[in-house]
Amino acid sequence: MAFSTDKITKKHILKAISEIDLDGVRTGRHSSTYNLVYNNKRHPPKYVLSLANKYATGTELRPDEFQGGQDTEAFKLFQEFGFEIIPKAKAAESKEEKQFVELLRKIGKESAINFFSLAFDLITKLKIGLDDQRITYGM
């Protein structure tokens, strides 16, 4: 099957993003290199396009049926419709970063959000700056 973006509209892409927001990313369809950012959420671009094609033509594309990445027809379509494509952040490299990421995984997304929200509110309320003598850092 020859892949073409001709029938895919911005509406199809938005429906695909909504499906992912509702159902999550199917196993094996996460992105390895790029994210499509929409409403401050990150989505796997190739999966978004696969689902958008389903809404446009009735057929969901397999990942091996088209190329993703910079300067491809798929990414040019996203950019044409005003979507932002960004490289995925590098994985945590230092021992401390890996420990921090693992801690966040253990406490869960909701708990982490609550903790950092409370910490931000407290730092703001107390007017704590980076060079504040009330804070000591240690490793």
pLDDT for the residue numbered 129? 79
Tally of domains within the chain: 2
Mean pLDDT by runs of 10 across the 139 residues of the chain is 82 98 93 91 95 96 90 93 87 70 84 88 85 65
| Shared-domain flag, residues 29 and 82 | yes
pTM: 0.64
Give the domain-ending residue among 62, 87, 112: 87
| Shared-domain flag, residues 33 and 82 | yes
Structural domain boundaries enclosing 16: 10-87
Please check whether residue 52 is in contact with residue 12, taking contact to mean a CB–CB distance below 8 angstroms. yes
| Shared-domain flag, residues 97 and 81 | no
| Shared-domain flag, residues 82 and 21 | yes
pLDDT for the residue numbered 139? 43
What SS3 string covers the chain?
Answer: CCCCCCCCCHHHHHHHHHHHHHHCCCCCCCCCCEEEEECCEEECHHHHHHHHHHHHHCCCCCHHHCCCCCCCHHHHHHHHCCCEEEECCCCCCCHHHHHHHHHHHHHCHHHHHHHHHHHHHHHHHCCCCCCCCCCCCCC
Tokens at residue 3, please?
A: 């892949």
pLDDT for the residue numbered 1? 47
| Shared-domain flag, residues 68 and 14 | yes
Q: Provide the residue count of the chain.
A: 139
pLDDT for the residue numbered 137? 57
Q: Examine residue 106 and state whether it is found in any structural domain, yes or no.
A: yes
Q: Examine residue 2 and state whether it is found in any structural domain, yes or no.
A: no
| Shared-domain flag, residues 81 and 95 | no
| Shared-domain flag, residues 101 and 77 | no
| Shared-domain flag, residues 15 and 76 | yes
Q: Examine residue 82 and state whether it is found in any structural domain, yes or no.
A: yes
| Shared-domain flag, residues 18 and 69 | yes
| Shared-domain flag, residues 112 and 82 | no
From the CB of residue 33, how many other CB atoms can be counted at a distance below 10 Å? 12
Strand ranges of the sheet holding 84-87, from the earlier edge strand across to the other edge? 41-43, 34-38, 84-87
| Shared-domain flag, residues 51 and 101 | no
